[in-house]
Amino acid sequence: MYDIIILGSGPAGLTAAIYAARANKKTLIIAGDTLGGQTAEIANLENYPAFTGSGMDWIQSTLKQATGFGAEIVYASVTEIKNNESGFSVVCDNGKSFEATAVIMATGARARRLEIDGAKDLVGNGVSYCATCDGFFYSGKKVLVIGGGNSALNDALYLADLAREVQIIYRKSSFTRAEAIIRDRVAQRENIKPIFNTELKSIRKKPDSATGELIATTTDGTDIVCDGIFVAIGHEANTDYLDESVKRDDVGRIVADNLPAGLFVAGDEKSGIKMQVATAVGSGCGAAMDAISYVNTKGK
């Protein structure tokens, strides 16, 4: 029986684990299939105070701090949370379940999928949702980035160091959703070309292409030939394990009001939060302190 179980191993979850374990609460991190969530994919985490390095560097350092205070970690994904007499039972996809007095949900978010013809069939075969994972395969080639926020522009900047040409397809007339400093960096790169007021209708393999080129067709019928497509059109919360009794917003993020006693939420899974490492850390801290107080009321 644990005092606090934390679902997720991103910035919110690991911060919560540090606080919970440091408060001498028996703490378990259910990390998901892989460590770190989206933060682990950041090539250069440059906007977190007093840190220089990759997202995975930060994650590993933070995990070491949490486990140094006694937090335990298992790699599995949660499939269900059940109320029981002593608190909660967390059921995982490995067939195991774990008991706790309090649970902090910090499973983060996943990339929103591109819902057009051909996109699903070509994932891993020309279409990617992770520039830092797959960018290497497009060295010296032409790629498209779909999206117009910070994530899309950062992907374009990362790919511009590898690819011959990067085109950014965006449905609006300017990158108003992205930070000014990132917009300026994109504008300074000669091999990045924005294409505004444009959306894709379909993606298909180019017939008889020896190199596996793609044809991306826009809604006005224009064909764009490229070698790869990177999608960065937003995120949806990883909350599929919850039943309908837990209130969520239109992208699946949990509305914190009226959660059952002992159940807390932090990070990108929480409705209304800005999706940044710093805000995730802050929300993880807050959720942990609330969970610690709750466990204390139970005499733990």
pLDDT digits (tens, 9 = 90+) for 145-160: 999 999 999 999 999 9
Per-residue confidence at 58, pLDDT binned at 50, 70, 90?
A: very high
* Average pLDDT of the chain to the nearest whole number: 94
Residue 202 CA: distances (Å) to CA of 30, 35, 148, 225, 264: 38, 33, 19, 12, 41
pLDDT of residue 237: 87
* 237 and 152 Cβ atoms separated by less than 8 Å: no
Question: Which residues have a catalytic role annotated?
Answer: 130, 133-134
Distance in angstroms (rounded) separating the CA atoms of residues 11 and 286: 13
CATH superfamily of the domain spanning 127-231: FAD/NAD(P)-binding domain (3.50.50.60)
Is the pLDDT at 249 greater than 90? The verdict is: no
User: Residues 94, 264, 283, 110: is their CA dihedral positive or negative?
Assistant: positive
What pLDDT is attached to residue 257? 85
Going by pLDDT thresholds of 50, 70 and 90, the confidence category of residue 132 is confident
Q: Does the pLDDT of residue 299 top 90, yes or no?
A: no
Listed in sequence order, the residues at least 6 apart from 253 whose beta carbon sits closer than 8 Å to its beta carbon are: 109, 237, 239, 268, 269, 270, 271, 272, 273
Residue 179 confidence (pLDDT): 92
Which has the closest alpha carbon to 6: 276, 298, 297, 283?
Answer: 283
Q: What CATH homologous superfamily does 2-110+235-297 map to?
A: FAD/NAD(P)-binding domain (3.50.50.60)
Query: Once rounded to an integer, what is the mean pLDDT over residues 29-58?
Result: 91
What tens digit of pLDDT does each residue of 168-202 get? Answer: 999 999 999 899 999 999 999 999 999 999 999 99
Of 107, 99, 104, residue with least CA distance to 263: 104
Instruction: Give the tens place of pLDDT for each residue, 69-108.
Output: 999 999 999 999 999 888 999 999 999 999 999 999 999 9
pLDDT at 53: 92
* Parts of the chain belonging to CATH 3.50.50.60: 2-110+235-297, 127-231
269 or 73, which is more confident = 73
